[in-house]
Chains A and B, each alone.
Chain A
């Protein structure tokens, strides 16, 4: 029998043997890392080269590592859930444990896997693609990263300290309010998202300004690579959507910590208001993560079809249309919460309209390949695998958008299958395509193609085995977020198949990790800087690019500037006919790291309602702001000799 009363939470979570085992593992890993850094005398290197860097390429790499680690963590959550559901009346997990796992799975995958993955891609590629030396605000960029990082740490910490949140990644009140979710878990959720959310907003602003202000001469908007266009869409959405989340989370926090009643049952609180605010962020959020994937597919498809992108203007128009429409559809997440038929019909039709530009994009990708020359590299495989996935995921999205049909699908496994199809088949495939594509640019070596393809096929097949049965489970009335189900509902076989699919996907992920390790060891080095015979500016640079990116900023005369240069100018970009000049660059700084660390400390204080610690954190934040404000020594010039030396070493003659 389940009981409602909640035991006080101990500081360290120890009860469950599985958690205990992971506690030990985490502790051992930490000890191992510290020991290795000390043994190899790498602390200084870590601080100087990474923790204090403001270089967009390094920040991109750190985002990438974080995203892959979080994908692992969220993936373990997923495998645990699927194991529990493989058979009826599963006994692996208690409900408390299952509830925590699906909550952290969703939160980690969306906010701490998908988001850093897109930030990784945009950091790595955008400045190189527009011919810039860094983003507009490199220091702010470092702040964004560390805010994300410490936000993610705060959430993950809840696993071993205090207990994980368990009210779902959407965290609807009144369930997420104190009477139903006492204990620190929910506070961890709120403060982790709040911390990383500040970083995300800053990133949105940073990249929008970068793209509008820092393009190379001649790079008009309509000459930009489509990936850059997609980042405009994403940045605009971030800027308009994240503040809604910030407000929603802050108000719940007031309810929980200070006894306010914004969303409580008592005292006339209005939980509905939270749900509106959450989805005003939440729906744009799904497009925030899918648009960059669209951009990557455009780059990859065009490169590996050796052909110009088909219907460039339509592609741009679609991205912009999607950004606007996706801000007008949030209520489709709660058709069943008593809105009138007028409201439901409006949001239903608006949601379906998103399908129009999306459909157009799919046709344009197809016709980019049509009459091209298709090379089936791993990156291209992910892009091709994406198209059927997204066709089906988009179609089920439209099926969900038909409000009266959604009354049936809502909260069922049909919905689960839909959003995994678009989030995995769309976002994750996109990010993996981008990772395989830009990997040589980041690290100077190419990821092994055979292992990569094995990973792709395992993952792709595993995906369909895992999620197609879930559509059917939805038709059969199985609801989401149940930790167990009885036999005799006819759900057993399909659940078992789904779990097998999840395991196959897990093996696929292991192959990606193997690919990275193997290629780092014996992978083919990229000495050309252009291993894919690609089209855009980043491939005109050596791999990895020097820290100042371009010794001379090229003058752009056409779309696909690098391809044109190769076709018409023997692989030389138009560079101004002047000697190399000293390059103005930002200095590294430890403040962003400390600033975010102070947020972490303050957040941790608020989680436990230790206000002295919160105050200490806040003081740290203020101190960092003040320090930076009075720091006039923030930039320097790279001398000409150093540039010439570097360029020589990279075997490119400076002219």
Chain B
């Protein structure tokens, strides 16, 4: 099983320009914003470089240059109004688009028809633990999600803060000790999506890559069943082992100690923001 995923994994992330190859509505929205900002800033950058090229060529201090020379010409209200106005307009447009998208991304990408699959993600030194409170299974360094429906990731860390990033599905969000943060992602098509930790956490950080395997819902349910029947449970002891600094491959567990995610967050006093408690209440089962 693990070997299969690895195979899929290597074929799934070949030389992609991931940010412009969106695999779901979240990353699609983000890539549109990226293109907007690119075009609107290019509207200034390209003329500036062109103008520079022209001016430096035209007004050189060489004998016989017949270009006009006006050493004291240094004010022009109309010109200055123009170049205060251009960036103001561009920034104005960008501000509206940005604000709209920022608010949109705090909601699930599409209306939820069924209860969303929730995955509790914990970054450890130096591995990713995924727990499925609805399905009661757990994995390490890879996870399965159903396609075509919003998936709710709830993020925390039991180590220095990392950042959970699956570029083709959507932008990242930090994993912070003592906090729970929500990230909505959704995959359109079955595929293996490359993911990695994005915020430096020490010596093993470079190896904190994982795969998100998106499959149709029926197959997802099958996968859960199979895991439940064939994988070992994650015990308290196993959890302690995982917390120790080091690397591991991909692991699969048929169950995990109940409430271990919440306990992880609360054990050091965590949850200092009421807002996080709200997130946790909606996601623990």
Q: Which residues in B have their C-beta under 8 angstroms from that of A406?
A: 171
B88 within 8 A of A: yes
- Determine chain B's interface SS by DSSP, over half rule: mixed
Q: Which residues in A have their C-beta under 8 angstroms from that of B206?
A: 95, 481-485
Say yes or no: A270-B272 contact (C-beta < 8 A), given A356-B84, A484-B206.
Answer: yes
Whether B98 and A388, one on each chain, are in contact in the complex, defined by CB atoms closer than 8 angstroms, is: no
A163 within 8 A of B: no
Q: Which residues in B have their C-beta under 8 angstroms from that of A310?
A: 73-76
B112 within 8 A of A: no
A337 within 8 A of B: yes
CB distance from A396 to the nearest CB of B (A): 8
Whether B269 and A366, one on each chain, are in contact in the complex, defined by CB atoms closer than 8 angstroms, is: no
CB distance from B33 to the nearest CB of A (A): 5
Residue of B17, B34, B73, B160 touching A472 (CB-CB under 8 A): B17
Contact with B along A333-346 (1 / 0, CB 8 A): 01011101100110
Contact with B along A466-505 (1 / 0, CB 8 A): 0000001011110111111100111000000000000000
Tally A residues with Cβ within 8 Å of B.
99
Whether B102 and A99, one on each chain, are in contact in the complex, defined by CB atoms closer than 8 angstroms, is: no
Whether A408 and B34, one on each chain, are in contact in the complex, defined by CB atoms closer than 8 angstroms, is: yes
Whether B201 and A391, one on each chain, are in contact in the complex, defined by CB atoms closer than 8 angstroms, is: no
B239 within 8 A of A: no
CB distance from B63 to the nearest CB of A (A): 11
Docked pose: A407 CA to B102 CA in angstroms: 10
Whether B246 and A356, one on each chain, are in contact in the complex, defined by CB atoms closer than 8 angstroms, is: no
Docked pose: A370 CA to B49 CA in angstroms: 14
Inter-chain contact total with CB atoms closer than 8 Å: 302
Q: Which residues in A have their C-beta under 8 angstroms from that of B161?
A: 172, 174-175, 271
Residue of B16, B87, B95 touching A360 (CB-CB under 8 A): B87
Tell me the nearest residue of chain B to A265, going by C-beta: B177
Residue of A2, A399, A475 touching B203 (CB-CB under 8 A): A2
Q: Which residues in B have their C-beta under 8 angstroms from that of A340?
A: 106, 275
Q: Which residues in B have their C-beta under 8 angstroms from that of A305?
A: 59
CB distance from A484 to the nearest CB of B (A): 5
Whether A398 and B94, one on each chain, are in contact in the complex, defined by CB atoms closer than 8 angstroms, is: yes
B207 within 8 A of A: yes
A411 within 8 A of B: yes
Whether A480 and B80, one on each chain, are in contact in the complex, defined by CB atoms closer than 8 angstroms, is: no
Residue of A96, A173, A306, A311 touching B74 (CB-CB under 8 A): A311
CB distance from A464 to the nearest CB of B (A): 12
Whether B125 and A410, one on each chain, are in contact in the complex, defined by CB atoms closer than 8 angstroms, is: no
Tell me the nearest residue of chain A to B180, going by C-beta: A338
Docked pose: A270 CA to B272 CA in angstroms: 8
Whether B51 and A366, one on each chain, are in contact in the complex, defined by CB atoms closer than 8 angstroms, is: yes
Whether B200 and A175, one on each chain, are in contact in the complex, defined by CB atoms closer than 8 angstroms, is: yes
Say yes or no: A308-B71 contact (C-beta < 8 A), given A402-B94, A407-B172, A483-B206.
Answer: yes
Residue of A99, A337, A482 touching B176 (CB-CB under 8 A): A337
Whether B68 and A371, one on each chain, are in contact in the complex, defined by CB atoms closer than 8 angstroms, is: yes
Whether B170 and A307, one on each chain, are in contact in the complex, defined by CB atoms closer than 8 angstroms, is: no
Whether B268 and A266, one on each chain, are in contact in the complex, defined by CB atoms closer than 8 angstroms, is: yes
Whether A4 and B18, one on each chain, are in contact in the complex, defined by CB atoms closer than 8 angstroms, is: no
Residue of B51, B170, B247 touching A1 (CB-CB under 8 A): B247
A450 within 8 A of B: no
CB distance from A460 to the nearest CB of B (A): 14
Docked pose: A310 CA to B80 CA in angstroms: 10
Docked pose: A494 CA to B218 CA in angstroms: 40
A352 within 8 A of B: yes
B196 within 8 A of A: yes
Residue of A175, A334, A376, A391 touching B44 (CB-CB under 8 A): A391
A405 within 8 A of B: yes
Whether B10 and A488, one on each chain, are in contact in the complex, defined by CB atoms closer than 8 angstroms, is: yes
B1 within 8 A of A: no
A395 within 8 A of B: yes
Whether B245 and A475, one on each chain, are in contact in the complex, defined by CB atoms closer than 8 angstroms, is: no
Whether A399 and B38, one on each chain, are in contact in the complex, defined by CB atoms closer than 8 angstroms, is: yes
B14 within 8 A of A: yes
Say yes or no: A374-B60 contact (C-beta < 8 A), given A307-B74, A402-B98, A480-B200.
Answer: yes
CB distance from B16 to the nearest CB of A (A): 7
Contact with A along B16-54 (1 / 0, CB 8 A): 111110000001011101101110011011001101100
Docked pose: A180 CA to B202 CA in angstroms: 8
Whether A268 and B269, one on each chain, are in contact in the complex, defined by CB atoms closer than 8 angstroms, is: yes
Tell me the nearest residue of chain A to B248, going by C-beta: A1
Q: Which residues in B have their C-beta under 8 angstroms from that of A308?
A: 71-74
Whether A392 and B45, one on each chain, are in contact in the complex, defined by CB atoms closer than 8 angstroms, is: yes
B224 within 8 A of A: no
Whether A411 and B165, one on each chain, are in contact in the complex, defined by CB atoms closer than 8 angstroms, is: yes
B79 within 8 A of A: yes
Whether B198 and A411, one on each chain, are in contact in the complex, defined by CB atoms closer than 8 angstroms, is: yes
Contact with B along A549-570 (1 / 0, CB 8 A): 0000000000000000000000
Q: Which residues in B have their C-beta under 8 angstroms from that of A367?
A: 76, 79
Q: Which residues in A have their C-beta under 8 angstroms from that of B281?
A: none
B167 within 8 A of A: yes
Contact with A along B85-114 (1 / 0, CB 8 A): 011100100110111011101100000000
Whether B174 and A337, one on each chain, are in contact in the complex, defined by CB atoms closer than 8 angstroms, is: yes
Tell me the nearest residue of chain B to A485, going by C-beta: B206
Q: Which residues in A have their C-beta under 8 angstroms from that of B237?
A: none
Interface positions of B from 167 to 206, Cβ below 8 Å from A: 167, 170-174, 176-179, 181, 194, 196-206
Whether B268 and A2, one on each chain, are in contact in the complex, defined by CB atoms closer than 8 angstroms, is: no
A3 within 8 A of B: yes
Whether A338 and B181, one on each chain, are in contact in the complex, defined by CB atoms closer than 8 angstroms, is: yes
Residue of B55, B99, B170, B171 touching A349 (CB-CB under 8 A): B99
Whether A336 and B246, one on each chain, are in contact in the complex, defined by CB atoms closer than 8 angstroms, is: no
CB distance from A100 to the nearest CB of B (A): 11
B67 within 8 A of A: yes
A636 within 8 A of B: no
Whether B13 and A489, one on each chain, are in contact in the complex, defined by CB atoms closer than 8 angstroms, is: yes
Contact with B along A396-440 (1 / 0, CB 8 A): 101101111111111110000000000000000000000000000
CB distance from A97 to the nearest CB of B (A): 10
Q: Which residues in B have their C-beta under 8 angstroms from that of A2?
A: 126, 203-204, 207, 245-247
Whether A345 and B202, one on each chain, are in contact in the complex, defined by CB atoms closer than 8 angstroms, is: no
Tell me the nearest residue of chain A to B166, going by C-beta: A477
A373 within 8 A of B: yes
B163 within 8 A of A: yes
Whether A405 and B177, one on each chain, are in contact in the complex, defined by CB atoms closer than 8 angstroms, is: no
Docked pose: A376 CA to B14 CA in angstroms: 46
Q: Which residues in B have their C-beta under 8 angstroms from that of A364?
A: 80, 83
Whether A399 and B45, one on each chain, are in contact in the complex, defined by CB atoms closer than 8 angstroms, is: no
Q: Which residues in B have their C-beta under 8 angstroms from that of A314?
A: 80, 84
Q: Which residues in A have their C-beta under 8 angstroms from that of B31?
A: 408
A5 within 8 A of B: yes
A372 within 8 A of B: yes
Whether A99 and B203, one on each chain, are in contact in the complex, defined by CB atoms closer than 8 angstroms, is: yes
Residue of A266, A476, A479 touching B269 (CB-CB under 8 A): A266
A348 within 8 A of B: yes
Whether A370 and B176, one on each chain, are in contact in the complex, defined by CB atoms closer than 8 angstroms, is: no
A362 within 8 A of B: yes
Q: Which residues in A have their C-beta under 8 angstroms from that of B69?
A: 306, 371-373
A168 within 8 A of B: yes
Most buried by A among B88, B172, B177: B172
Residue of B19, B36, B204 touching A477 (CB-CB under 8 A): B19
Whether B179 and A338, one on each chain, are in contact in the complex, defined by CB atoms closer than 8 angstroms, is: yes
Docked pose: A479 CA to B31 CA in angstroms: 18
Whether A4 and B30, one on each chain, are in contact in the complex, defined by CB atoms closer than 8 angstroms, is: no
Whether B268 and A408, one on each chain, are in contact in the complex, defined by CB atoms closer than 8 angstroms, is: no
A309 within 8 A of B: yes
Q: Which residues in A have their C-beta under 8 angstroms from that of B103?
A: 341, 345
User: Top 10 A-B pairs ranked by shortest CB distance?
Assistant: A4-B245, A407-B171, A490-B15, A395-B41, A175-B160, A268-B269, A482-B206, A373-B61, A411-B198, A359-B87
Can you report 26 residue pairs joining A to B where beta carbons are below 8 Å apart? A2-B203, A174-B161, A175-B201, A307-B70, A310-B74, A334-B174, A340-B106, A359-B83, A366-B52, A369-B56, A371-B69, A371-B70, A374-B56, A395-B41, A404-B30, A404-B105, A407-B170, A411-B163, A411-B199, A477-B18, A481-B200, A482-B206, A488-B15, A489-B13, A489-B194, A490-B15
